[in-house]
Amino acid sequence: MDTVDVALARRSYPVWIGPGLLADSARWRARIRGRHVLVVSNTTVAPLYLGALERGLAGLTWSSFLLDDGETHKTFANVGRVLDALGALGATRDACVIALGGGVVGDLAGFAAACWMRGIDFIQVPTTLLAMVDSSVGGKTGVNLPVGKNLAGAFHQPRAVVADTELLRTLPQREYLAGIAEVVKGAAIGDLPFFAWLEANAAALARRDADVLVEAIARKCRYKAGVVARDETEQGERALLNLGHTFGHALETAGNYSEILHGEGVAIGMVLAARLSERLGMASAEDTHRLVALLQRLGLPVEPSKAHAASRLLDLMRLDKKNTAGTLRLILWRGIGQAEIVSGVPDADVLAVLE
């Protein structure tokens, strides 16, 4: 097991990474302060792992709320249903929400916890690789709107993250590979040695080698934890963690959150950001080629669908949360490990890359 600490003074918390952690209930139960617990999961994950979690809740007053599976269910309506479930449970200010699932479950459950009595505890138990390396760490919670992804939400840090790598055994390969895209993103933003390590270990990572997997998750979480500790509410440096996201979120929204997975959107978005950086004279073609080659070795897509007009995608990109006063702000790079925020990129250049 590896432990990554997210250092946020009184709101600091551990990210535990390794096999068998769900069964190690003494470890995570110590982070529950009250007697009321609501487990939020979905109809795919609950039949697999809710029983194991239940054994660690003996003696507590608890219930569960299950979402249907998929990004389309990350809605305000379902936040309301979780809040109703907390009310039915009689949850008090020291209650705890446990998010057992992927990013959709974690984001929505965390948002509901942030809303109930203006904020109660929650614990992340991610069951996808993408959630383990990204969405479960850092306290971003929220829901999607028809006009864009994650446009409503709150910063609300968990009490702990329990990243049990044994839970990934049931994860479909496509979703597993989509999670690796977020690992690559961390290296591409600010860790050239980690990027080189991924190039050397791509095959082992793709086949889920246990030791390589734990190291990859820990290195990505350690990098993100450092950024979050320095910029919790994304006033500066934390925005760099969105490399590829402005493009990727537009692609997800254009496809009604059902055509591509989030990690696939990030993979394509990183390539588009690299190509735009190259077009603007910020970075070399060699860095773009290295990124594309690594993503392809990992079985990830690198080209956007031709089904969506470039002008439509650009309109969706304008709704990105990083934008200010109508100005498009993108995360680009000056090469691998050197991401930066760039404002005022001409529409013509963005459209050229999208086309």
CA neighbor of 64 nearest in space, from 80, 81, 74: 81
Q: Tokens 């949360």 appear where?
A: 321
Number of neighbouring beta carbons within 10 Å of residue 211: 9
Q: Which of 185, 220, 249, 329 is catalytic?
A: 249
Q: Which of 42, 78, 150, 242 is catalytic?
A: 242
242 is catalytic: yes
The catalytic residue among 185, 220, 262, 321 is: 262
Is 234 tagged catalytic? Answer: yes
Catalytic residue, chosen from 36, 73, 140, 159, is 140
* C-alpha distance from residue 206 to each of 174, 198, 210, 273 (Å): 11, 10, 11, 24
∠ CA 138-140-142, nearest 5°, is 160
SS3 125: strand
The active-site residue, picked from 71, 150, 175, 182, is 182
Question: Exposure pattern of 161-186 as b/e (b: 16+ CB <10 Å)?
Answer: bbbbbebbeebeeebbbbbbbbbbbb
User: Is 262 annotated as catalytic?
Assistant: yes
Residue 337 tokens read as 């490990």
Residue 339 backbone phi and psi in degrees, to 5: -80, 155
Residue 65 structure tokens: 């709320």
Residue 230 is a catalytic residue:
no
Whether 238 is catalytic? yes
List 73, 149, 224, 275, catalytic entry: 224
Burial classification of residue 159, based on how many CB atoms lie within 10 Å of its CB (0-12 exposed, 13-18 middle, 19 or more buried): buried
d(C-alpha 81, C-alpha 68), whole Å? 12
β-partners of residue 164 are 18
Amino acid at 326: G
How many angstroms separate the CA atoms of 118 and 312, rounded? 37
Question: Can 355 be counted among the known catalytic residues?
Answer: no
Quote the CA–CA distance of 135 and 295 in Å, as a whole number: 20
Tell me whether residue 264 is one of the annotated catalytic residues.
Answer: no
Four-CA torsion 102, 250, 334, 218, nearest 10 degrees: 0
Q: Judge whether 224 counts as a catalytic residue.
A: yes
The active-site residue, picked from 71, 175, 215, 234, is 234
Instruction: Decide if 130 contacts 175 (C-beta within 8 A).
Output: yes
What's the start-to-end Cα distance of the chain, in Å? Answer: 45
118 in active site = yes
Nearest to 142 by CA among 110, 101, 100: 110
Q: Would you name the residues annotated as active-site residues?
A: 118, 140, 182, 224, 234, 238, 242, 245, 249, 262
